[in-house]
Structure 1
Amino acid sequence: MDRGELLRLPLKILGELAKPFVGREEEAKVVLLALLTKEHAVLIGEPGTAKSALIRRVAEIFDMRCFTYLLTRYTEPAELFGPLDINALKEGKYVRITANKLPESEIVFLDEIFKANSAILNTLLTIMNERVFYDGYTEIEVALWSLFGASNEIPEDPELEALYDRFLLRHSVKPISEDMWRDLLKYAWSIERFGYGEPSIKIDRSTLEELHRIIFEVDFTPIENKLLKIFSIFESKNIHLTDRRKGKALKVIASHAVLNGRLATSEEDLLTLKFIAPHDLDDFERINVILSEELKTAYKYLKELEEIQRNVKEVYNYILSFPNITSRFVEYRLLEIYRDLESTRDRVLAMARETNDEKVHRKVAEVVDDINEILSKIKQKIEGR
């Protein structure tokens, strides 16, 4: 595979990964960034937000051995790492049967990971950090590429801090917004009837390894000063990153550039700091605010356009609820809304002139179409008076 083809691949993978999951593009991105960097990620949020399904799908796409398990305080190490071989034990040998268990899996998903007891906790720390499983006097090299954890909450127990720190990527998963519920119902019913379906893209491990290697060729020069400034702002806001986390952030920033088909960083890649810097739940929103204020990126435009689109949809529903025009007041109100929408459309079109980003241009076209549809409805109501 040539370099250009390789760089076009991650976005295709991301689209295929996110396809069955309504409103889960960010979660899919976190999962893919973890794989590109060969790091671990934790997804924090309530049950029923597609966390485990995303992991199973990414394992399908990359054709990797996957192990998933729900942890409780009473989970035994043998449930994760395999039982002892009784026959070998009778012969005085300490052998563990690891087939289809965590040590032989390349992708691991542990639900309620912070409920791990101390026996499991210590073993997980070594596996995540060194890719080694110490079983008695035996050192076993594990196949692990990335481990994904899920939890309803961030751990408060100091004993769990070391495990939490092993997750370079952290993401707060929220229920999807109301404007996506209709799509959710459609996709959910399709999944109930037909399942998720086979991914249309299959990637072998050697290609993933090549994608992983290429992130170390990314040029950081364009964002170096801005990154240092943001680290400084974080410290001033009492958002502390360890030296190790600051250094490892470069891998995620580079992988985001590769995800977008580039070997040079741009300010857009610094948005990945929202997955690296948070510690407490409050940090997620605070960091989003800091990044949106500091970075001149498509993210700012897209966020504003999404807000405008939500408001436009509310106006559309409001217009549909209007009765036929029976008074000057109703007509005046419609004309007032018409003028406001024209001003909004001008503002949206101005955004397209301020950036060359294709995603922003597509979103602008989408929002302008929505506005034009409402303007047409208002005209029909006024002319049909």
Structure 2
Amino acid sequence: MLNEKLLQELLQKLPVLRQEIKKVIVGQETVLDEVLVTMLAGGHCLLEGVPGLAKTLLVRTLAQALDLPFRRIQFTPDLMPTDIIGTEVLEEDHSTGKRFFKFNKGPLFANLILADEINRTPPKTQSALLEAMQEFEVTYAGQTYPLDKPFFILATQNPIEQSGTYPLPEAQLDRFLLYIRIGYPGEQEETAILAGTTGSRKTNVQPVLNASDIIQLQQLVRDVAIDPELIGYVSRLVRATRPMTTHVNEVKEWVRWGAGPRAGQALILTAKAFALLNGRFAVTMEDIKVMALPVLRHRVLMNFKAEAEGILPDDVTNMLLQKISRTATVLS
């Protein structure tokens, strides 16, 4: 555990980091908080929004504010798994004349990865990220190569309904800690964006955190206190999303597949990270409610009836947050 002085110095860097990013990103306060929570919790996030909403710009700005090796991977329909993780090449030892295979690391070997338009590439290539996202390592030709920490992937995607996109497999979706939706800016924000991006003024973003800082903050997140009562609430909330076991009739009617235990882990970790981001060392009920939507929206799969009626996972989550008591069992 850090001493009090180092702890305060570290925590004081978080609002500075937010301000550096806001030099470039106008508005999107919730989105920014959710991206920072992802970093603090040591996970990965998926950002979805129509083209032109600064998804890529947000990630690139975050990379500038972090003193970390950064790589951008542009996902395209012809991208192959070896284009991401790397490949072996045949080389020759000039002193002995012997030939041997050497593994050339791909762009995945960096601390911060921007997987741009991840749903533009087929599932075969998308799945190349699975081991890296879960195990923080890459296996090629029977050899395992560890990834440097901190390691996190910030992926962007356009809405599935748009042409030329491939849906992400459920197993990969579940490995994203948060599913963040980016909406259109408000009128004043859009006016500020137009004014700030059509002139000659350049904005310099200064690095605030390094790898050691981030690793220490991620350890601090796990030390944030949470009442056992709130852990029980998270368990009931997640279990209530499962149509086979829930007592909530709307879930039985609309949900095809509910969230697994990883969702509960993600909700507790992100609630802890959100509390720390706001200078607190204990989780509140409000922290859990704030993080429930981005944690569950990609882990609750709706059935055809719900899709026909326009019912979204966020609607189910909001309904469950109202129905489930902090101490009692699920209401029917």
TM-score (ref. length: structure 2): 0.77
**2:330 match:** none
Cα contact 1:172–1:284 (8 A) shared by 2: no
Q: 1:231 to 1:82 in 2, by over 3 A?
A: closer
Cα contact 1:62–1:203 (8 A) shared by 2: yes
| Partners of 1:62 and 1:17 in 2: CA distance | 10
Q: Point out where structure 2 has 5 or more consecutive residues left out of the alignment.
A: 243-247, 302-310, 327-332
Q: 1:91 to 1:82 in 2, by over 3 A?
A: farther
Partner amino acid for 1:284? D
1:109 to 114, 121, 124: 114
Offset of 1:85 from its aligned partner? 3.0
Higher strand share: 2
**1:352 match:** none
Please tell me whether residue 259 in structure 1 is matched to residue 277 in structure 2.
yes
Q: 1:265 to 1:158 in 2, by over 3 A?
A: same
Q: Secondary structure at the match of 1:48?
A: coil
Partner amino acid for 2:127? N
Q: 1:43 to 1:260 in 2, by over 3 A?
A: same
Q: Point out where structure 1 has 5 or more consecutive residues left out of the alignment.
A: 297-385
Please tell me whether residue 62 in structure 1 is matched to residue 66 in structure 2.
yes
Q: 1:208 to 1:159 in 2, by over 3 A?
A: closer
| Partners of 1:38 and 1:275 in 2: CA distance | 15
Cα contact 1:70–1:110 (8 A) shared by 2: yes
Q: 1:171 to 1:80 in 2, by over 3 A?
A: same
Cα contact 2:160–2:167 (8 A) shared by 1: no
Cα contact 1:103–1:143 (8 A) shared by 2: no
| Partners of 2:295 and 2:82 in 1: CA distance | 32
Q: Secondary structure at the match of 2:279?
A: coil
Q: Secondary structure at the match of 2:215?
A: helix
Aligned length: 291
| Partners of 2:325 and 2:33 in 1: CA distance | 19
Please tell me whether residue 241 in structure 1 is matched to residue 259 in structure 2.
yes
Partner amino acid for 1:208? I
CA RMSD of aligned residues (A): 3.0
Please tell me whether residue 250 in structure 1 is matched to residue 268 in structure 2.
yes
Instruction: Give deviations 1:266-294, integer Å, cap 9, x for gaps.
Output: 12211111110102692235535765898
**2:308 match:** none
2:50 to 46, 55, 68: 46
State which structure, 1 or 2, has the greater radius of gyration over its C-alpha atoms. Answer: 1
Q: Secondary structure at the match of 2:312?
A: helix
Higher helix share: 1
Please tell me whether residue 34 in structure 1 is matched to residue 38 in structure 2.
yes
**1:74 match:** 78
Instruction: Give deviations 1:231-283, integer Å, cap 9, x for gaps.
Output: 46655343622112112221111101110111111122111111101026922
Cα contact 2:70–2:112 (8 A) shared by 1: yes
Please tell me whether residue 96 in structure 1 is matched to residue 100 in structure 2.
no
Q: Secondary structure at the match of 2:101?
A: coil
| Partners of 2:71 and 2:271 in 1: CA distance | 28
| Partners of 2:195 and 2:318 in 1: CA distance | 31
Offset of 1:146 from its aligned partner? 0.4
**2:230 match:** 223
Q: 1:292 to 1:46 in 2, by over 3 A?
A: farther
| Partners of 1:293 and 1:106 in 2: CA distance | 41
Offset of 1:54 from its aligned partner? 1.4
Instruction: Give deviations 1:163-218, integer Å, cap 9, x for gaps.
Output: 1111111011112123422222222235xx2333122x521211111110001111
